[in-house]
Amino acid sequence: MKRVIISVIALAFAINGQAQRIKGSDTMLPLSQKEAESYMKTNSTFKVTVTGGGSGVGIAALIDNTTDLAQSSRKIKMDEKIKLQESGVTYKEVIAAYDALAVVVNPNNGVSQLTREQLEGIFIGKIKNWKEVGGDDAKIIVYSRETSSGTYEFFKEHVMNKKNFANDVLSMPATGAIIQSVSQTKGAIGYVGLAYLDKSVKAIKVSYDKGKNYVEPSMVNAKNKTYPVVRPLYYYYSTKVENKVKPYLDFVLSAEGQKIVESVGYVPLK
C-alpha cells in the first residue's frame, strides 16, 4: 500500500454538536483516519480530530482530559494507571486491531534475514558493521522511534529483551521519518508497523528460533501467527465519555470496520 504520513488530520464531523478527539500512537494514525472517514459516510454530524505524537502522549492526554480516545501501540503502564487513578479517571481498554512490527533496511542492502539475537546486537550497539551479519563492509546506521512511542517500547521489550538502545541510535519523531531515513541511507536499519511498508525500503525476514526458520512480515504470516513480532493496537478512554465514543468504537469493531483494518494494512481481530 502507499505510505501514509500524517501529523494532524481534521475531519469534519460532530457528535451531538461536540468534537471528538483521538490522540497518541503514530502507528495507528492511518487506521483512525480511515475508520473515521468511513464512519462519517453514515454519520454526517460526526467531527473528530486525530493527532499523533506517540502512545505515551496519547495516554498523557487521557490523564489530562485533553483527548477522548488515546490510541496506543502498547499496553498502558503501571505508572500511567496510577496517574489516571490520581486524576479520578476510570478507563476502559479496547483492542482495535493487531500490527506486525517490521524491521526494514535500505533496498540496496544485501542482507535479507536476521535472527532476533542479531537484531538485539545491532540495536544495543554490539554489532556495528553489516559484514558481521553477512553483508557488505559498511557501518550500520540505526534508526529508532523516540521514547514516547509505543512502538519503541514494544521493540525494546520483545526484540531486544528489555536491553537499552545504543547511545548512537538516531531517534525519529514519527514512523514516516524512519521510512524516509532508511530509504535514503544505504547502511540504515529501523522498524515500522506493517501498514507503513512500501517499496522504498526492504523488510527483513526474522528468526526467533536462532536461525532455523526465517519469516517475512506480511498480512498472511501475521494472520497465521508464524511471524513472531505481532502486537495489539489499543484505544483507551474514560468511562465518563463512553456514550460519546462508543458509536465510533462499535463501528471499528464491526465487520465493516475490521475490513477497513485489513485494507489499511493492519491485522483484523478475527
- Domain with residue 169: its CATH number is 3.40.190.10
> pLDDT tens digit string along 139-175?
999 999 999 899 999 999 999 999 999 999 999 999 9
> Which residue stretches of the chain have pLDDT < 50?
1-17
Work out the mean pLDDT of the chain and round it to a whole number.
91
Quickly count: other Cβ atoms within 10 Å of residue 79's Cβ.
8
- 1: in domain: no
Residue 6: per-residue pLDDT: 39
Q: How far apart are CA 105 and CA 108, in angstroms?
A: 8
Residue 48: per-residue pLDDT: 79
| Strands 188-193 vs 19-24: parallel, antiparallel or unpaired | unpaired
C-alpha cell at 79: 505508572
Residue 220 zone, left/alpha/beta (φ > 0; ψ -120 to 50; rest) = alpha
Expressed as residue numbers, the domain containing 34 is 8-98+233-264
Q: What's the total number of domains in the chain?
A: 2
C-alpha cell at 263: 485494507
Q: pTM for the complete prediction?
A: 0.86
Q: Quick check: helix, strand or coil at residue 112?
A: coil
Q: Quick check: helix, strand or coil at residue 244?
A: helix
Contacts of 226 (CB under 8 A, 6+ apart): 215
Residue 41: per-residue pLDDT: 82
Are 43 and 79 members of one domain? yes
Is 185 in contact with 138 (CB distance < 8 Å)?
Answer: no
> pLDDT tens digit string along 20-29?
899 999 999 9
Are 69 and 90 members of one domain? yes
List C-alpha distances in Å: 100 to 5, 34, 86.
Answer: 18, 19, 34
C-alpha cell at 30: 492511518
